Structure 1
Amino acid sequence: MTDLLATARALDAADPLHAHIDAFAPAPGVTAYLDGNSLGRPLRDIPEKLAAFVREDWGTRLIRSWDEQWMDLPMVLGDRIGTLALGAAPGQTVVADSTSVLIYKLMRAALRQAQSPSEGGTPRTEIVIEAGNFPTDRFLAEGVAAETGMTVVWLEPDPVDGVTLSDVDAVLSDRTALVALSHVDYRSGALADMPAITDAVHAAGALMMWDLCHSAGVIPMQLDQWGVDMAVGCTYKYLNGGPGSPAFAYLRRDLQGVLLQPIQGWWSAADIFAMGREYVPASDIRQLLSGTPPVTSMIAMQGMLDLIEQASLDAVRAKSVSLTDFAVAAYDEVLAPLDVRLLSPRDAARRGGHITIGHPEFRTVTQRLWADGVIPDFRFPDGIRLGLSPLSTSHEETLVGVLAVRDALTAA
């Protein structure tokens, strides 16, 4: 048996990002937090930043802060996320509503366009989505299809390897209006081939939308270069914006003013203060807004964006690969002999920032782990996800979690 603890400590000693762990607030009673892919840890300075916001921006400047800084905040933060995490030039990303609302807006906008093709074109009638995608994505696709008279085409990929180019190619046709997929599978962590799939969808004449919730802030991407049409991602996982922090949406520049979102609020009007009788949408990325932005909920993510900028997303990805590779090695040594299954790709190039392991006893095991201060999360029917947020997680903490799973399972 290898000395896993010695290996973990050696990896941490060589980790160029290890010092960033101290930027995150400690959680009393928690010995291993392995759920950063669900809710990122808060930075140490968040309490003071929130207090300063209440004391100064809100408490002192009052409504003047709208003119001084808040009016542009959705676009300013969107541009930062686009630049640091998405490979997107300014003016194409905005921080606005929840993930669900933004997915709905973009799906509905895409299908409105598909039902009104250019002269001589044939209306398209199908939405393609994975049958095992996150429930929000699937439920919204079904709802939008019902509203528009579209048909949902369900992909059934391998549950570990996730959606592949061949899976998508097999269902594309001149009926396809929109393909909506997750960049990283929320269950297995499988990483989809975004550029190849996007190219195939475009070759079929359809639009491509990506859910970036499990990849934004941990997987480098090039939305502009890869020709992505639309994307949505949350900010409370690897961007550490806090519970319920608003999502972001990306809409390629040449589609702005062409794809029209359905929730016509005053914040997306061309002249927001004209209070006109008729709605005229803004021609830029602001068209994706609807109501007043949740300014207070945009504070926490700004510190995490600073950290990502300091570290570089390429370095974050390298640390992520190191953590998940080590977790797989630890699984092989201490969990595989206990009939635990690996439910994630072994190849790091095909894997996002978490790994999933499976065993029939894992629902009960997860309850024991939480009670003991080890925090992964459980995914039905029998999976535990180990979400290893690179800037806040060490290899030794990862090992503590894997060994705790072993100990809880053997005690069952």
Structure 2
Amino acid sequence: MTSSGNSNAATFQNDPALPIAIVGGGLGGLALAIGLLKHGIHIHIFEAAPVFSEIGAGVTFGANATRALGLIDEALLEGYKKHATFNENREHDDTFASLRWGMDERKDGGKKAGELMWHLVDKWHPEFAKQIGVRARSCIHRARLLDVLVSLVPEGTTSFGKSFEGVEEQPDGTLRLHFVDGTTATASALIGCDGIKSKVREIVCDPAVQASYAGEYAFRAMVPKAEAERALGPELARNGQIYCGYGAYMINYPVEHGDFTNMVAIPLDPDKSWDQDEWTVPTTKDEFVRYFEGWFPPLVDLIQRYCLPSKWALFNLRHSAPYCRGRMCLLGDSAHATTPHMGAGAGMAMEDAYILSNLIASMRGSASIEAAFRAYDAVRRPRTQQLVENSLNAGVALDLTLPGVGDDTDALKEWLETRYRWLWHEDLEAQLEKAKKLL
């Protein structure tokens, strides 16, 4: 459990009766709460679910994301490291993923399914990860990361079963939050961390700012270690792999200290449209096999046997609207939800939490928090919206259909390396200083 303050106490002062309200107790909302609590700032989390919970299995962090954890709170980084899983082969400490052919190359004498293309390596600053005790790629089960975050938030800080409905701005600048159950709460400011279907975003941005279908969906499987090794061999099962093919790609990586291999298969949707209300819909193993006919047989067979009976439509949030309005602000997926193709969505929320918590702490009180929100928007919106664009294009690139790249593996390597270098080696402390100069 974190302390309510530290020796570097913030100048920001707020009454316990007027906390900063965090709507949404997912990974981003909890990370922000920890960052604010570290500075002695009163917060309260309003979570719609009856308990803290996370949907999905593995989450991947690059060097930027793990560094952000430590900048938020060293206890958060240490807790993360206890549950993180890395490439088992120590020769791949600096490797984020090994790219392989998921199906035969379409040319005479071309590469065969399963053959290596190249390793995506942090060749620029591999020492950054080593300095904080991780490696270029680390993975964690979402439930374990959630446990770490929850352990650092004091009891009594969260109200459950509170589905946000709306907000009223009071004459004195405070906010009255309204919930679906008819209750209300008063806060000095409001930060929406309520995900891709955010209700807070409808107020902060134009209601027309909504997530759009990315034209892809995902099949998922969690495979026991022994089965993954039997089908793929230890090298492929215990180290992160991306299998590229024409119109789709697959990824697998170890989680839970290698006890399981998380597997995801993402094809392009030939219809390019999603007309269903639900974003997760039932599917069958036969449907999966039809999409991946001709792919690397051991991989297809393994996913088929353990495939969950659902497929997940992929949406993202591309827009130019500010992430703040008055004393209200957005963080994480509520502001910039992205596709998973660069393994960076959760990491961007950690970056947000570090920047925003420190900007708020640098203010003198609630009356000046709007300036912190505007500075946050100025530095975070360009980077996070660039990620949304990069990630969408990365999916096309891994599908071997990116114009100007296609199945040219040298061009693909250059294209991906440029964007991963941009992602991993942003100087977050310099970004914070830039934002503070805008105050």
Measured against the shorter chain, the TM-score band is under 0.3
Higher relative contact order (CA 8 A, sep 6+): 1
TM-score by length of 1: 0.23
Write 1 or 2 for the structure with the bigger share of strand.
2
TM-score by length of 2: 0.22
